[in-house]
Every structure is written in structure tokens, then in C-alpha cells.
Structure 1
């Protein structure tokens, strides 16, 4: 390996078997942690040799895993712009899908040895994952869930084509196919896709090139086609392809490249074959594409449109759609309906095609599906009684207080820390909160006064809260302090305060910190930036602390009940509004309401006059 090999923070975390926040903590806590030797301030690079030596000295690494050593050899043999080509050539060399001479012999030998130890498939997938992790901001990949859904909509197919296959995600999901064929504009992507498929024993023919401008399979018809086209691409070849025979449904507008890919897919599937394309939501109602949408409907080619959750397409922040199409056969009768669905085809309903053939030809599923009933599941009278009982119970939750004042001698949390009665930890600014199996408390959980909603893994650097500990958001729009009642992992942006509970009552401390932390905090754009050590609590005997603590607990219960009444009442009012407007219910005459003056019927604070 090169003496000047470098690693990023993510690589170090993986080598040591920890999360990235741990590496950030090491850099802050240990003065002898290696200094960056390159990269940027937001993504520094470190000397692999220095990091490996430091980890060993700290007892955090016995031996660098062979897979990590091989990957670092590959990564440090090319710059970022050439890394994809190198990874693809190495993967192609060990799978036989690319000439062995296309990659440096030492890298091929080291990777082949790793494959002999852990298996060809796992080794190729390792190279793919490492490359995607290294370029996570630049590389766009289709999620496994979307790929599986798209492949399932094809049904049984002998041969499946993806004309823009990327790294092969859709073709890998098409497990029903005996043969897969694909093409991609990027030679490295095509090579890596071929290697991934071959490593799994899938017969694949993957080629490089632009399928619209230089189709690698002009005379081949597949049983099914899957495609994720680039969204909103203007330079797709409009001028060169104006008279192309693939435009059976109309010339695609220059600004709607997706409709060019849809028609290319239909031209490359057998009559009666299925096509599934991931489309941007705007393609369902752009004015420029309405003629093609109309022809797809009139000919019975478009069979279904499925709305997916936001984030399903790496190219779009809005929820994308799946278009399910079928190339017509001469014997086919034109259907009268097209399926519209949200999430999956099973949840859809048939929409008459004649209803879609208006001036807009809008194919947006959410505009064609019936709205969920606004009527609450419970009987309205039952909910009214529950709200009344909850409202009446509010006043009983308030603690009893008197107006007799008292002087309080205050001390700071910083002084309590020096006295050994308090310990304060701050969790990392960044950490994963949605992976793992152990309940994890987030900042939002603390703010809302609810239980843990995140999931994490217990690691050496994890911060674990135990009953009686206090958590406070480091930055929040409202100052809150909560007492933990169960053992739980603590998420990012939180202070954890551990108390000597023989000296300090947790509810007493949390109640005072809630106010004093806000008073001692810096404000930034309407948010509090808390400095826990400057926060103050009074010096009181433990018996008096517990009396205050009980009052603070009752106040928190009162707050939660008030919020519940407001949220339940607000949601109920909104449901009844919609149900009345949609004609699902109708108002009954209120006893005595007919004779009330108009101003008695107006909400308090009305500005109508």
C-alpha cells in the first residue's frame, strides 16, 4: 500500500467499528490524534499509517481487516474522478466481465485473494458499497424497496431490459428473469453493473452508451423493461431525434425527456410486454406532454399510475410516480379504465379513461382517488363527553400554591459539578437516530415530553440515560428539562445531567433548570442555545426539594393535558368541518340556538364586526 494512503472520518469509524461521532469525539479529546493531511475542513483526510498506529496504541484496533486493507489500496490508487473507473475495472477483472489488464495487477491480485476468502459476490458488493459511501453526495442510487416494487410489477419475464441501468439495481431486483440486458451512458457504471450481475450468477449483457442516441439493442425486444430516466433533462437529443420511429405517441417536448424514455422503453418491449418507469410528478400534468399522455390513454398503453412516498426517487424531493405500461397487441381491446393508486397497486381504484381525457389530461393519482372519510371513528357524542371530562380534570392537576414569597439562595450547576454532586455530558451534534434496535431519545421527544421515538445501537461512545437523569436540548425554541424514567440511549444535541440523588431531587432540579437555563441561554433566531453550567438552582434541604419536585411534576402533567385537549379538539373540529363540507354529515338544531342573538354565536375575540 502507498505510504501516503489517506482515509476519511467514515473510513476510520469503519476500521474501529464505531460510529462517525466517535471519531469527532476522539479528535476533540485526544491531543495526539493524527492531524489532517488533506481534504477540506468539512471532509478532512488523514494518513492511513498514522491512524492505524494511533488506533493500535489506543487499543481500538488489533489488526486492520483484510477487506479494509484491500479497499484502501484501491481507493488510494486513483483520484476521486477516476475512482469509479478503477473500482469497475477491478470488479470486472475478478468476474471476467472486463479484461484483467484493464486494472493494475496488484489490485486485481489482492481483490481476487479476498474473493477467494469471502466469496465473489460479497467482494464485488463490498467494492460497490464502499464506492457509493465514498461518493454518497454525488452518486444517485435507486432504493432496494423501489427496485423490488418495480420488478414485481413486470410479472413473469424471460428477458428484462434496463436502458439506463446505472449500477444495475433494477436488473438485480428482476429475479424472475433468466437473462437481463442493460445499457448506461457511463462506461464505469455499466462495467460495475455487469460485474454485480455476473457475480450473482445472472446471465447479463450490459453495454455502455446512450440508449436514445446510440441504442445498443436496436433489434432486440425484451419481455419487460424497467427504467429510471433522468428527470428534467433538456439535452437528451431532441434535435437529432425529431423524426425517430420510436415516437409512436408523439414527438417528446424538448423539456420532457422522460416521455422520450417512456416511448423508447415501449419500442424495445415485445407486443404485450410490460414497462415500468419511475417518473417525476410533474410529468403527470405538464401542459407540454398532454398529447402524449392522451395517446397513451386512448391506445390502452398506460395501465396504471402509482404515487410513491417522498424520497423514493434520488432525483426529486417531491413524491414520484410509477407508470405501468403495456405495449398493445393487434388483438387487444382498448380498456375503459386506468388504475390509480398510492403506495401499491393493491390500494388502487379504476378511473374511467374518458374522465381523464379533458384539457389537462392530469394523471396525478392523489387528485383522482377518493379522500379518506373525515368522520371520526368514534361517535361524535362519545368524543364530546371525553373532551368534557378531560377539560374538567385540568384544574385538579394544578399544584396548590400560596402567594407568600421567600428568598432563595442560588448556586450554579457549574458549582455543583465542582462539588461532585452533578455530572454533565453533551451528546454529539451528529449521529444516526433511525438505525438499530435500542430505543433512542431525540431532541423532539424531549421537547414534546414523549417517550423515545428513535432507534440506535449501544457502542463504546454511546450516551445512556438512566432513571433520575435529566435531559435538556442544547438548542431549542422553548426551554425544557425532562427527568428520564427508563434506561434509554440519548440522541444528538442534548445535555445529559446525572445527579447525586441523595443530595438533589431530579424533579426539583429539572423544574428550576427549565426556567434558569432559558434565562442563562443565548438566543439565536428565536432559539435558545443553552449553557447548562451557568443555570441556577436554589440551595434547599432534600425534603423541601421534593415538595418543589412534586409541584413541578403536577405542572408538567397539567401542560400535557392542556396540549392533549387542544390537539384532540382541534383535530375533531377539522374533521367535522370537512365532513360537513363533503356532505358526510349534517348539522342538527342546537336546543335554544335559534333564539340567540348573532353575537352570542360568534367565537370569542371575533373581528367580524
Structure 2
């Protein structure tokens, strides 16, 4: 397949040009020379990538297409979306051969090259010598593993609703809870292998219903040099590993599956703790996992929050507790499980060993977004140490009532809630914060509208007063280098992200102004007070000469400059070159900058006061209700 044959849709063009899809639609209407579709449908037209690149260059909007991105588009053009997973897996197979025998393809003619393919292309995928060479070239340039990871990430992003990959931080937490490093690990619903790769296993076993995903998982394990087997099939109906007992089982199963096999599996020996009701497929997965772990081994499984309290499952929950199999319930933040928008739970289970005495308590943790809390609480619970705030040890006998409700919010105070013991301290902090609010506001008086001469950031950049830089689109998600994220910017907090120190990152210095790329999306422009972190995605950094432009004045003007943005749906894409600022002497800028700074501090203080007041009120209601607080 030649480069000219590669097509892209509107979403692809938006990603290549780093704009929203609405901008692409607008370009098609406004510009007569915008390329005409070469395929697709009326609702989803396809355009020639070569034509689109030429148009973007003519209009000064071109962003250099990364080799992996170009390869991804060629793979997409080689087949339809139904077989795209097969195309990605086949590219992975070719990249594995490039890793094993680099350079062997370079001097071969087309026929010889196609004759040396490690296996025949899958049905429905158009593979020619040009595509094979493109895969090999990107593999040698980027590294075979990095190239495959790049196209695999794009495939998962495109089919995120179907593949439901576990977020990497959650996968790493599940591995820590299970102690998977160096162990034999089984995942009976492995998807593309996210949990198995995070486990650090020396031997990995996986089964996945989707054949393309199973093949991708196997290739990912080979690139990671992990020994193991991944099989396609239905784990509940057709177990690929009968009799296999792993050291640890990790699993993020499909949620709310009514067709999991209730009728044909009624008498299955795996249901040691009770026949799972038709609507409780997750309890079938729990028992399947327990049947595949060695006595004394752990199971870490993702569960929907509703599974902790649904009435049909209370008998099995009670049996798990009585046997000592359920050891912890850890509640995460909403959206932590791709299969659910609610707050999911992690259940940690231990298969009882012969002669074990049933434990008397179970760990419950309200972790939310603080995944580190879950690991600390589990370690403290296992070692008999004091548990951190946000976690608690609950007696099993107290859970064995008519409902067998394992909802952590009913049993454990979250870290954000002070409980009755901290009520007085939070009240004092709230009162002190409210008393200081008035001092934050600048004294402003009404006046007539002033017509000031204006300039733009583009003009200031050309004059050398400012330099404008955008954060990278993608960053490594492992490393020790702090990253300022959009949420950090919104909350005015220290950088919370982490990445590796690689080329292309933007270092933040004190006095820099950082603004969101999408205006109205939550974050606001701020002046940085510290140095050393790097700029995260969807952020802009504007570095000004402080002798000619006050940073706080600049940040305030950017905050007020929403009208100069280009509207994209319900948000505004910020064009820094068009943002307007009044022409003022630097001394006058500093006076205005101080007022802008104090307004932002007042906004931050009001947000803190609101959050603190919600915490205080909730603690007051709970304490009065359960008797841990009383009236003076």
C-alpha cells in the first residue's frame, strides 16, 4: 500500500492538527480548497492523508505526523474496523520478527520480502510489500516494542468502549495487592494483557473472549519477554486452564453480564460458595478465580460497587465472609473501572488452606483517587499494624446480618471526612478561613469604560517579550520527574503527575504563566511559584520578560480573554497569538497584576471553604446521628 492510498477521517485530522472535530467541520465549510472525500460515507467521509497534509501546510496548520501515527493510519486503511485488531496483531508479529532479525528485510525485493513473512496475513487485511516495509522501518526507527505499543495504544483508544482496558495505575495497584512479582499469575478475562503486564510475573496465563484482544495480549507478553500462554475463549463456559492453580489471580471481568452461562453451569463444581444468581455474573467470576488459585493464594478482582450490597448476592457474600475467603473491600474513585461510571471496588480474596482458622475481621478502605492509601492499608492490615485514616478493620460478625452489606462508605470514614474526633479541628480551620476571606478581595470601585490601546500575545512574541510553548501530546507515564497536570492547575496545587526525563518536555520555571489549552475547561491561567516540574498535556507555557510584562497581569488578561478563543462545542480552544492585552506601563501592569492575583487567591479560598464546609456538615450530621457527637 502506497502512502497516497492512506485515508483519514475527521477525528484523525483533528488529532493530527491538534484541534477539535468541530474545527475540521468548520474548515470544510469555510475553505473551498479543503480536500474532497475519497471514500467513506456521507456521515463519516474519508480523506487522502497526503491531500490533508498538503492542505494543512498551505494554511500554516501542519503538525509533523509521527512515524507511528503514519503507520497507524496505513494499518487502518488496510482493513475495516471489524478486522483492525487482526491488522494490529499482524503488525505486532512482523515487529517481533524485526526484533529477532533486524535489517534482514532491507535489500529484499517485493516478492522475496513477502515470501519471508513469518505467517500469512489474516483474511480481510490487505498486506503488500509497501506496508511490510513501513512496519519494519518504524520498528527499526522507534524500536519494535515502542512501535507496537504506539499502534496498540491507538487501537485501544479507538475501541475503548469494547476493549475496556484497566487503567495502568489501577493495574499496578492490583499487582501490589496480590504480590504478583515473580509469581505465576492468571487473568481469566485478560483483554489485551494490561494486568498480566503490570504483574511482573515470571509466568503469565490469560484467557480472553475476544480473539483479536487475546492475540494482542500474547504479543504484548512476548515483547515484555514474559513466559506464558494466552488463549481465546469463554473462561466460564470453556475454561482453558482446567486444574491449573496459579500463585495469584488478577481479574477485571465484564460487569452485569446476564448471558454468562447460568443455565448450563448450574451444577458446576466451582460454585463452592453458592450458585451465582442469573444477574450476579461478577460472583461467578469471583468463584472461578478462587478455583484457580493455590490454597493460601490471593485473588484481586475488580467489582462494581453495587455488587457489595445487591440482595440476590447476599448469601454468597455471607459464605465468603464465614469461610474467611474475603479479606478486603477497597473502594476506588468513579470511573476507575472502564466498565462502569460508578465507584468500583477491589475485592481481595484468599483461598483458605486446610487447617486455617477463619479470620475474625475484614479490611475496608475508602481509597477514592488515593491509590497509595489502598496499598498502605493492605500492608498494615496484613502485618497487624495501625491502619491509616480512610481504612478500618470491620468484624465479620458485624457484617453477617440480613443484608450482608459490604459497602465501605457505611463502615469506614473516608480520608476527606474528619469523623467525630476531628470535627472541632475542622470547625476551627473553617472559621479561620472564612474570617480571612475579606482580606483577599482587592478594593475596586465603579468607573466608566476605558478605551485602551491593545496589543496581542502574537505581537509580544514577535517583539521577544514572551515565548509560548505547548506541552507534549503524549508523555511516558512512569518515572520520577514531576508533571504539572491540568487538574493541578485548576486546584492550584503542587505537580502530582510523574514521567520520565525524555526529550521534548517543557520545563517550568518560577514566574512562568501556565494556561489551559481549552478555555472554560476548568483550569485557569496561573503564575508558577516553583521550578523543576515539566508541563503536562493540554497546557500552554508563556514565559515573559518580567521587566517588560508582569506575569500576574498577563495571567489575569488571559483569564479575561475567552472572547478571543475559537469556539469548539461547549468549550473554547485558546489561541495564544490572538489573546489581547492592554498596553500599559510595567508599573501599572504590576498594580493590575496584584489585583488579579488577589482575585484568584479569593477564588481558591472560596473553593477550599466550600469543600471544607461540606466536610464539616457531613461529619456533624454523622456524629449527631450515631452519637459520637453531642450538643454542648
Superposition TM-score, scaled by structure 2 size: 0.67
SS of residue matched to 2:86: helix
Q: Deviations over 1:325-347 (max 9, x none)?
A: 12222211111111112333245
1:368 aligns with 2:411: yes
Judge conservation of contact 1:242–1:251 (CA < 8 Å) in 2: yes
Instruction: Sort the Cα spacing of 1:412 and 1:192 in 2 relative to 1 into closer, same or farther, 3 A.
Output: same
CA positional deviation for 1:190: 0.9
Candidates 226, 237, 244, aligned match of 1:213: 237
* Residue aligning to 2:47: 46
1:101 aligns with 2:120: yes
The gaps in structure 1 that reach 5 residues or longer are: 520-525, 531-535, 589-609
* Residue aligning to 2:108: none
* Residue aligning to 1:194: 218
Q: Deviations over 1:526-552 (max 9, x none)?
A: 99999xxxxx9999xx89x99999799
1:160 aligns with 2:179: no
Alpha-carbon distance in 2 for matches of 1:484, 1:233: 48
Cα RMSD (Å): 6.1
Alpha-carbon distance in 2 for matches of 1:434, 1:378: 43
* Residue aligning to 1:19: 18
SS of residue matched to 1:100: coil
1:170 aligns with 2:195: yes
* Residue aligning to 1:599: none
* Residue aligning to 1:359: 402
Judge conservation of contact 2:185–2:201 (CA < 8 Å) in 1: no
Judge conservation of contact 1:287–1:360 (CA < 8 Å) in 2: yes
Judge conservation of contact 1:442–1:452 (CA < 8 Å) in 2: no
Judge conservation of contact 2:515–2:526 (CA < 8 Å) in 1: yes
CA positional deviation for 1:390: 3.7
Q: Deviations over 1:212-258 (max 9, x none)?
A: 11111113222221111100011111111111111111111111111
CA positional deviation for 1:470: 14
SS of residue matched to 1:101: coil
Alpha-carbon distance in 1 for matches of 2:582, 2:57: 47
Q: Deviations over 1:76-104 (max 9, x none)?
A: 21111111112223324554899612444
* Residue aligning to 2:81: 80
Instruction: Sort the Cα spacing of 1:493 and 1:268 in 2 relative to 1 into closer, same or farther, 3 A.
Output: closer
Judge conservation of contact 1:221–1:268 (CA < 8 Å) in 2: yes
Instruction: Sort the Cα spacing of 1:471 and 1:307 in 2 relative to 1 into closer, same or farther, 3 A.
Output: closer
Judge conservation of contact 1:439–1:452 (CA < 8 Å) in 2: no
SS of residue matched to 1:359: coil
* Residue aligning to 1:231: 255
Alpha-carbon distance in 2 for matches of 1:191, 1:362: 39
Instruction: Sort the Cα spacing of 1:512 and 1:475 in 2 relative to 1 into closer, same or farther, 3 A.
Output: closer
Instruction: Sort the Cα spacing of 1:129 and 1:392 in 2 relative to 1 into closer, same or farther, 3 A.
Output: closer
CA positional deviation for 1:35: 4.3
* Residue aligning to 1:605: none
Judge conservation of contact 1:163–1:184 (CA < 8 Å) in 2: yes
The aligned runs of 1:318-357 (5 Å cut-off) are: 318-341=342-365, 342=367, 343-344=374-375, 345-346=378-379, 348-357=391-400
The aligned runs of 1:519-598 (5 Å cut-off) are: 557=598, 564=605, 568=609, 571=612, 575=616, 578-579=619-620, 581=624
Q: Deviations over 1:188-212 (max 9, x none)?
A: 1111111110122111111111111
Candidates 291, 312, 321, aligned match of 1:267: 291
Alpha-carbon distance in 2 for matches of 1:470, 1:333: 58
Judge conservation of contact 2:554–2:593 (CA < 8 Å) in 1: no
Judge conservation of contact 2:250–2:300 (CA < 8 Å) in 1: yes
134-143 or 214-223, which deviates more: 134-143
CA positional deviation for 1:361: 0.5
Alpha-carbon distance in 1 for matches of 2:32, 2:364: 60
The aligned runs of 1:496-507 (5 Å cut-off) are: none
SS of residue matched to 2:297: strand
Instruction: Sort the Cα spacing of 1:250 and 1:528 in 2 relative to 1 into closer, same or farther, 3 A.
Output: closer
Instruction: Sort the Cα spacing of 1:160 and 1:294 in 2 relative to 1 into closer, same or farther, 3 A.
Output: same
The gaps in structure 2 that reach 5 residues or longer are: 101-116, 368-373, 380-386, 463-467, 564-569, 575-579
